[in-house]
A and B are shown apart, each in its own frame.
Chain A
Amino acid sequence: KAGVTQTPRYLIKTRGQQVTLSCSPISGHRSVSWYQQTPGQGLQFLFEYFSETQRNKGNFPGRFSGRQFSNSRSEMNVSTLELGDSALYLCASSLIGYGYTFGSGTRLTVV
């Protein structure tokens, strides 16, 4: 079956702009989580959605937001980009109680 698909793979944005990243989970998986990975901080949890509802949220500013659609696809948005937002953004889908399957990520560079 198809894995978790994240688009785009690479993105370059300018400070102050906003960006939207997309994630299509494995068919049947209703939970989608987002993570930010940087060399200094490692993998940091952003938020998790289940059946279109945000169930958990990490410690990120309000500039980071997300949503999930009825087909379980999810998007995350970052507004007013800062240089420090440069990172690999990973999406993972899961069946509750089982392991998470990650996408290949979106590499965001803010210049």
Chain B
Amino acid sequence: TQLLEQSPQFLSIQEGENLTVYCNSSSVFSSLQWYRQEPGEGPVLLVTVVTGGEVKKLKRLTFQFGDARKDSSLHITAAQPGDTGLYLCAGVGSNDYKLSFGAGTTVTVRA
């Protein structure tokens, strides 16, 4: 059982469309991180959100941390084929530094 539930599991959209990936948990995290992983490589950190209610923007990507620090979302505007990949959310435990990952969302952006 995953501590963090990600939805949807798969997402296939046309170039130019928007998408949102959700990450939910019943646990409180000291911070939450989003990673993107390409086949055969390790995950690459996109962002870390720390404060409840925090919103961070990274070009076309918007990340939000829930007020209670239990959930997060990733929104991509005007998706491009280069956004294709496995998106993973990960929570850092409040009492330890253990990083717990969600199962991931596979995003495919068609040209």
Contacts and interface: CB of A to CB of B under 8 A. Distances in A.
A74 interface: no
Contact of B97 (A31, A35, A90): A31
Interface string B74-105: 00000000000000101000001111111110
A4 B45 CA distance: 13
A35 B42 CA distance: 10
A55 B96 contact: yes
Most A-side CB within 10 Å, residue of B42, B88, B100: B42
A99 B97 contact: no
Interface string A31-59: 10101000000111100100000011010
B45 A42 contact: no
Given A99-B33, A99-B48, A104 B98 contact: no
Contact of B41 (A44, A101, A105): A105
Interface of A: 4, 31, 33, 35, 42-45, 48, 55-56, 58, 90, 92, 96, 98-105, 107
